[in-house]
Amino acid sequence: MEILLSFITGFLYASGIYLMLRRSLVKMILGLILLGNGANMLIFLLGRMVKGEPPIIPDAAKTLAGIYADPVPQALILTAIVISFGLQAFAIILMERAYKFVQTDDLDQMNSTEEDI
């Protein structure tokens, strides 16, 4: 299962970078979304996928015994999801405002000034 998720992570990174290099602003935002999801998947894979018990130490024990699920990658992913949602919302609003002002989503045409046209 981890090998399949590794390939999916690589695919998300590759497609995200490919879309971010396109000239369209919409494709750049979609690439940013895919890149963020690839990063979340990478963090999830680094935490190792194991079937285990919740990391709760019993009263009689001093340390955890056996296999337990690591909660740190899950907490990091939840934080990254919230941050990426805010970044995506800001990028979409910024794209909408730029499209209303320039009337195009092509980054090369947005970069040119009126004197160049």
Domain that holds residue 68: 2-54+62-111
Q: Domain of 86: which CATH number? A: 1.10.287.3510
Query: Long-range contacts made by residues 43-52, C-beta under 8 angstroms, separation at least 24?
Result: 43/73, 43/76, 43/77, 43/80, 44/5, 44/73, 44/74, 44/77, 45/2, 45/5, 45/6, 45/9, 46/73, 47/72, 47/73, 47/74, 49/1, 49/2, 49/5
8 A C-beta contact, residue 74 and residue 47: yes
Task: Identify whether 117 is part of a domain.
Answer: no
pTM of the full structure = 0.77
Q: Into how many domains does the chain fold?
A: 1
Q: What is the pLDDT of residue 27?
A: 92
Task: Identify whether 37 is part of a domain.
Answer: yes
Residue 47 DSSP class: T
Task: Identify whether 77 is part of a domain.
Answer: yes
Task: Identify whether 7 is part of a domain.
Answer: yes
Task: Identify whether 97 is part of a domain.
Answer: yes
Q: What is the pLDDT of residue 53?
A: 67
Task: Identify whether 96 is part of a domain.
Answer: yes
Q: What is the pLDDT of residue 68?
A: 73
Per-residue pLDDT of the chain (117 residues; tens, 9 = 90+): 889 989 999 999 999 999 999 888 899 999 999 999 999 999 888 877 767 666 677 777 777 777 777 778 888 899 999 999 999 999 999 989 988 888 888 877 877 766 655
Task: Identify whether 116 is part of a domain.
Answer: no
Task: Identify whether 105 is part of a domain.
Answer: yes
Q: What is the pLDDT of residue 109?
A: 80
Q: How far is CA 66 from CA 10, 47, 69, 96, in A?
A: 32, 16, 10, 52
Q: What is the pLDDT of residue 87?
A: 92
